Structure 1
Amino acid sequence: MSIWWSLHLRREAASVPLARRLLLGTMETAGVDPDVSYDLSVALSEACANAVEHGGDGVHGDASEAYRVTAYLDGEMCRIEVADSGPGFASDSPCPARADAEHGRGLCLIRELADHVHIGDRPSPGGAVVSFDKTLKWQEGAPLVAV
């Protein structure tokens, strides 16, 4: 069995905990190990916060006021994608030199919490995409585990 959902969210700070709670609720209901769920929820929060802060440029009209979150739980893998209509990334952003930096640690944190991370630009209509996946661990008796 697999689960997927997609949200179209306004670029407002209140959207970040909404996406996080939906992901956590989905994974809890499916029976995903709480530690894996927590790691993915923190990574999702960082990606959403980045979209809220940097995800619009005013060029794309109303589209710049929103971003999209898509999550797939399929078999042993969870893949999450956060896409916005902002200016995109100039390059694959390196981690800041200082651990106490005020900004710029979110993408580094996502890289630490997920198994595979892709950070890039959307070809059309433009914007940034952060996608990441993680191998799932299941609680005993989890309803989504293949028999």
Structure 2
Amino acid sequence: MKDQPLDSIDLTIPAKPDFVGIVRLLVSGIANRMGFSYDDIEDLKLAVSEACTNAVDHAYSGGDGDIEVNCNLFGDRLEINVIDRGHSFDVNEVEQRTGPIGFEPSMNALRERGLGIYLMKTLMDDVEIKGDNGVIVKLTKHLRKNEVELHVKSPASYPYR
């Protein structure tokens, strides 16, 4: 049996670019409260933005629809589900088309080739994408509370004056 989240937060936004920033703010606030590092929070914001932008751009083909965002807070990780009920796609086909990134005439060409999926997989610890009657993107980032960068001095090493 899977462990249960300590808390769960749900948000539904219209599938429009203007509302993606709200999801970024939500995720940033949750991750900050959980104790994620600045770099991990930035990674989370970028990954969730990519997942939401993919839903905005591809799920509803200019029609009306909603994006559901579900944040599950665990003691050791944050799981974010970005769910749309629009057009599904074959993840394997998109990843095969992506191939190595070369010189393209524009960033739009890169985005169409699956750069968003590549970014999400690079920035997160785990990414699951399911496409059936819509798309569910599950983004997981583990909390690294006990890791300290080697170049950071302990506060105990500074003498009090």
Which range, TM-score by smaller chain? 0.7 to 0.9
Contact 2:69/2:80 (8 A) holds in 1: yes
Secondary structure of the residue aligned to 1:50 is: helix
Aligned to 1:144: none
Q: Percent identity?
A: 30
Q: Which has the higher contact order (CA 8 A, sep 6+)?
A: 1
Matched residues in 1 for 2:38 and 2:146: separation?
8
Offset at 1:57?
5.3
Matched residues in 1 for 2:53 and 2:44: separation?
14
Of residues 90, 115, 121 in structure 2, which corresponds to 1:111? 121
Matched residues in 2 for 1:56 and 1:13: separation?
13
Secondary structure of the residue aligned to 1:75 is: coil
Matched residues in 2 for 1:42 and 1:3: separation?
22
Matched residues in 2 for 1:96 and 1:127: separation?
25
Structure 1 runs (4+) deviating above 6 angstroms are none
Matched residues in 2 for 1:29 and 1:83: separation?
24
Aligned to 2:73: 73
1:134 is the counterpart of 2:137: no
Unpaired stretches in structure 2, ≥5 consecutive residues: 148-161
Structure with higher Rg: it is: 2
* Structure 1 length-normalised TM: 0.79
Matched residues in 2 for 1:45 and 1:52: separation?
10
Give runs of aligned pairs for residues 83-102 of structure 1, distance below 5 A: 83-92=83-92, 93-94=94-95, 95-99=98-102, 100=104, 101-102=109-110
Matched residues in 1 for 2:52 and 2:123: separation?
15
More helix by share: 2
Matched residues in 1 for 2:144 and 2:125: separation?
13
Size of the aligned set, in residue pairs, is: 133
Contact 1:13/1:52 (8 A) holds in 2: yes
1:7 is the counterpart of 2:11: yes
Q: Which amino acid aligns with 1:44?
A: V
Unpaired stretches in structure 1, ≥5 consecutive residues: 141-147
Q: Which amino acid aligns with 1:72?
A: N
Offset at 1:7?
0.9
Offset at 1:130?
0.9
